[in-house]
Structure 1
Amino acid sequence: MKKIILMGRSECGKTTLRQALKGDTIHYHKTQYVNHYDVVIDTPGEYAENHTLSRALALYSYEADVVGLLISATESYSLYPPCVTAMSTRPVIGIVTQIDHKNGKPAQAEEWLRLAGCDIVFHVSSYTGEGIWQILDYLREDGELLPWDEKTAQQPRNVLSTKN
């Protein structure tokens, strides 16, 4: 599985997405420092919000295979300048979070991510699970089986041909 670093402002859903990607129980947890997990690097929102701290994001991105720029569907503005993805030496994907929020505007959030330079944009709800498997599929390495692949591989081949 490719390692991803999650970047975005405070409360945009980075830690919640990390919990959903790992299949953990969703609960609020304030990220106060950079956390390294097996395939996810979770960063504090203050790093993206503060010009001085944002330099650390550039350094930590070298430890990942993919950069994930997150923006909530509930945002009223974007932190990301146009074409910011050109600054990265890693592939950068956009992730629109909180798409199930009643006041969310996922299409607007996607436009901001595309303006930032993201060619690939995922829409996710960490609570309903919508879009989570698409991110996992994107992060999958060649030949790697994910949990739903393993279940399919374990089913007998002749189960579908039981009609008489």
Structure 2
Amino acid sequence: MRKIILFGRSECGKTTLMQALRGKDISYHKTQYINNFDVIIDTPREYAENKDLAAALALYTYEADVVGLLASSIEPYSLYPPNITPSVNREVIGIVTQIDQPNGDPKRAERWLRLAGCKKIFFVSSYTKEGVWQILDYLREDGDIMPWDKDKSKQ
């Protein structure tokens, strides 16, 4: 699988999405530092919310194949400036999180991510797992055997 690094503001669902992508139980965990897992890099909010630390995020993109910009459907504003995606030399995708929230506006979050420069957008709920497999499938490389492939071979 291609490796993805997740960026976003506080409480947008980065760590929760990371847990869902890894097939782990969802539990609250404050990310204190950059966690470099097998195919996912989880970043703390301070890096995206603090301009002095933001440059470090651009450096960490060298460790990944794909950059995931997260925007929650319940966020009141966008953290990302227009056309930010060219600032890294990796493919950048947008991920709208918390789409299951009744007060959310996924289309607004999608517009913000498109304005930031994301061409490919995924809509996910880490709790219901909606959209999670689409991200995993997108990160899939030739030869990768996914859990749902194993299920098909049993049939």
Q: Same fold (TM over 0.5)?
A: yes
Give the aligned partner of residue 116 of structure 1. Answer: 116
SS in 1 for 2:79: coil
1:87 is displaced (CA, Å) by: 1.0
* Other structure's SS at 1:62 match: helix
Greater Rg over alpha carbons, structure: 1
How is 1:1-164 mapped onto 2 (pairs within 5 angstroms)? 1-155=1-155
**Where has structure 1 moved over 4 Å in runs of 4 or more?**
none
Deviation at 1:154, TM superposition (A): 2.8
> Which amino acid in the other structure matches residue 152 of structure 2?
T
Note the C-alpha offset of 1:5. 0.2
Size of the aligned set, in residue pairs, is 155
Aligned partners of 2:83, 2:127: CA distance in 1, in Å?
30
Cα separation, 2, equivalents of 1:50 and 1:87: 16
- The Cα of 1:153 is off from its aligned counterpart by 1.9
Percent of aligned positions that are identical: 69
SS in 1 for 2:63: coil
- Say which SS state the counterpart of residue 94 (structure 1) adopts: strand
Give the Cα–Cα distance (whole angstroms) in 2 for the partners of residues 43 and 4 of structure 1.
11
* Distance in 1 separating the partners of 2:45 and 2:102: 23
Distance 1:16 1:150 in 2: 25
Other-structure match for 1:159? none
2:94 match: secondary structure: strand
Give the gaps of 5 or more residues in structure 2: none
- Partner Cα distance (2:45, 2:84) in 1: 17
Q: TM-score, normalised by structure 2?
A: 0.98
Question: How far has the Cα of 1:143 moved from its partner?
Answer: 2.3
Task: Give the Cα–Cα distance (whole angstroms) in 2 for the partners of residues 50 and 120 of structure 1.
Answer: 26
Structure 2 letter corresponding to 1:49: E
Q: CA deviation at 1:151?
A: 1.3
CA distance in 1, matches of 2:93, 2:63: 16
